[in-house]
Chains A and B, each alone.
Chain A
Amino acid sequence: MRVVIYLVIVLLAGCGEAPNESNTANDKSQTAKIYTVNYPLFWATQQLVADSAEVYFPAPADVDPAFWVPDLETLAAYQQADLIVLNGASYARWLSRVSLPNNRLLNTAADFSDQLIPMETEPLHSHGPQGDHSHGEQAFTVWLDLSLYAQQVSVLEQGLSRSVEVDAAALQARIQAWDAALIRLGQQMDGAPVFYSHPVYQYLDRAYGFDGLALHWEPGDYPSPQDWQQLVEMLPQHRGHLMLWEDEPLPETRARLATMGIEIAVFQPLGNRPAKGDFGSAMDANIETLRHYLEY
Chain B
Amino acid sequence: MSGVFYLAWQYLRWHRWKASILVAAVTLVLYLPLGLQLVVEQTARDMNARADATPLLLGGRGSPLELVLNALYFSDQQPPVFDYGVVDELRNSALVDPIPLYSRYHSQQIPIVGTTLDYFAFRNLQIAQGRQLAMLGEAVLGISAAQSLGVGVGDYVVSSPESVFDIAGVYPLRMPVVGVLAASYSPDDGAIFVDLKTAWIIEGIGHGHQELTSPAAAGAVLKSEGDRIVANASLVQYNEITADNIDSFHFHGKNADLPLTAILPVPRSDKARVLIQGRYQAHDSLQLLQPRAVIKQLLDTVFAVQRYVLVAMGLVAVATTAVVLLVFLLSWRARRPEQDTLHRLGGSKAAILSLMLAEVVMVLATAAVLAALLVALTELFGGPLLKAVLL
Contact = CB atoms under 8 A, between A and B. Distances in A.
Contacts of B228: 123-126, 132
A18 to B, nearest CB: 28
B71 to A, nearest CB: 17
B97 interface: yes
A75 interface: yes
A127 B220 contact: yes
Interface string A96-131: 111111111000000000000000101111111010
Interface residues of B, number: 37
Nearest to B205: A130
A133 interface: yes
Interface string B208-250: 0100110000001000001111111101000000000011011
Contacts of A133: 252
B117 interface: yes
Contact of A97 (B118, B136, B226, B230): B136
A75 B135 CA distance: 9
Nearest to A125: B229
A138 interface: no
Grouping DSSP codes into helix (H, G, I), strand (E, B) and loop, the A interface class, with mixed when no group exceeds half, is mixed
Interface residues of A, number: 26
B195 interface: yes
A79 interface: yes
A98 B136 contact: yes
A179 B97 CA distance: 35
A134 B246 CA distance: 17
Interface stretch (B126-134, B281-289, B310-318, B344-352): B126-134
Contacts of A276: none
Contact of B132 (A76, A93, A120, A125): A76
A292 interface: no
Contacts of B212: 123, 125, 127
B204 to A, nearest CB: 8
Given A123-B229, A125-B229, A127-B230, A103 B98 contact: yes
Contacts of A127: 209, 212, 220, 230-233, 235
B131 A76 contact: yes
B132 A100 contact: no
B231 A126 contact: yes
A103 B99 contact: yes
Interface string A127-162: 110101101000000000000000000000000000
Nearest to A132: B228
Contacts of B136: 96-99
Interface of A: 72, 75-76, 79, 93, 96-104, 120, 122-128, 130, 132-133, 135
